[in-house]
Amino acid sequence: MSRVPECSGFDVAEFVRRVQHPLTTARPLPLHEPRFSGREWEYVRDCLESGWVSSVGSYVDRFEGMIAERLGASHAVATVNGTAALHVALLLAGVETGDEVLVPALTFVATANAVRYCNATPHLVDSALDTLGIDPDRLEDYLRRIASVGPDGCVNRLTSRRIRAVVPMHVFGHPVSMDRLMEVASRWRLTVVEDAAEAMGSLYRGSPVGGLGHVGIVSFNGNKIVTCGGGGAVVTHDAELARAARHLTTTAKLPHPWRYRHDLTGFNYRLPNLNAALGCAQMEQLDGFIAAKRRLTESYAESLDDLPGVRLVTEPAGCRSIYWLNAVLVPDQDARDAVLAATHRAGLLTRPAWDPLHLLPMYADCPRDDLPIAEELFARIVCLPSGVAAPGS
């Protein structure tokens, strides 16, 4: 992705008019609303009639199988939400108290929160303009400056703490350069915990994201392409990691017909059957949802074509994105703020990118690289209405 030239005469009104063109519907129009047009009612009713509504039931097993198959993984363990999945994935990756974990500064706060849940420290790194996610080349240059590999793995020479893992997050559904990132991770002895919360169905060089790292996660929050209302999953090719994930997320209870014995500090993180039933019906429609979202992207691209100072964020080369959120880059932060105000007045519930983690008070003191691209993207991104139910999709 090339940089958008600065445009002192940026036409906010024309931008709003062009964004409205594909969206012929009543206002307000949410950023991302779900579509329930399959067998959701049938499956949820079956749960209610059978009484299997909690964390055990046939829909949980079925949903996990559908997730694993879709992501080309051997195992999926369904959780109450994506953040819980990420917390467990980090524990499975060996993250311990006092470790550091490399995370992009431009990400949803849950990526860093899950690191803190492990009593570890988020270590913030910069993004790439073409993917919006971690820049592997810049990451390796940074590690050469501040880290070394020894008997204990990768160590931050500035803090003397172990850097245990790296968490690539596929921003808005656009895949990170995973091949290059895996090379860097291997060289620096880092475990890759793949945060595909926003990318269920995206492909990197023909392979589904979420199953490309050592362990991965997906999310089924109410605003995701597939939703259970909440929900997430840990994804892995390793049978032992999957067994450990199931144990940890079920309060680490040892199997017994009636006794309640636990051998670890576990978590009540399993997804209820009721939510899994909704997820099964949604997964059956995933291909249609992706097609609808890509049609909406094409409509935006056509409508915004040749508008000075605006560029639609498109899928990286060699990737097929679900375009979970359609994002545009405008010239600068003043233009971004003017666009956000004008679109909200017009009933289009746009939003900026998340505040970068180093600008949040609880992560302001975390170790970090220089973050010029993350800061530039934050200043210039506007996310457009992108739900599968949006007209134009």
Confidence at residue 28, expressed as pLDDT on a 0 to 100 scale: 79
Please tell me the distance from the alpha carbon of residue 137 to that of residue 130, in angstroms, as a whole number: 13
236: nearest Cα among 34, 64, 9, 8: 64
User: 40-283 sits in which CATH class?
Assistant: alpha beta
CA 203 distance to own-chain centroid: 14
CA 146 to chain centre: 27
Amino acid at 65: G
Per-residue tokens: 312: 């639609």
Give the pTM.
0.94
* pLDDT reported for residue 9: 67
Check: CB of residue 47 under 8 Å from CB of residue 53: yes
Domain limits, the chain: 12-35+286-384, 40-283
Nearest alpha-carbon partner for 361 in 106, 120, 127, 109: 109
Look at residues 381, 199, 387 and name the one whose alpha carbon lies nearest to residue 297.
Answer: 387
Position 2 scores a pLDDT of 36
Per-residue CA distances from 346 to 22, 33, 197, 321 (Å): 14, 18, 30, 28
Bridging pattern class, strands 215-219 and 319-320: unpaired
What is the rounded distance in angstroms from the CA atom of residue 269 to the CA atom of residue 274?
Answer: 14
CA distance 380 to 364: 21
Tally helices (H) and strands (E) across the chain.
12, 16
Q: Which top CATH class is 12-35+286-384?
A: alpha beta
Q: CB 322: neighbour CB atoms within 10 A?
A: 30
Of the candidates 354, 324, 313, the one whose C-alpha atom is nearest the C-alpha of residue 112 is 354
* pLDDT tens, residue order, the chain (393 aa): 333 334 446 999 999 999 987 776 666 789 999 999 999 999 999 999 999 888 788 999 999 999 999 999 999 999 999 999 999 999 999 999 999 999 999 999 999 999 999 999 999 999 999 999 999 999 999 999 999 999 999 999 999 999 999 999 999 999 999 999 999 999 999 999 999 999 999 999 999 999 999 999 999 999 999 999 999 999 999 999 999 999 999 999 999 999 999 999 999 999 999 999 999 999 999 999 999 999 999 999 999 999 999 999 999 999 999 999 999 999 999 999 999 999 999 999 999 999 999 999 999 999 999 999 999 999 999 999 998 866 655
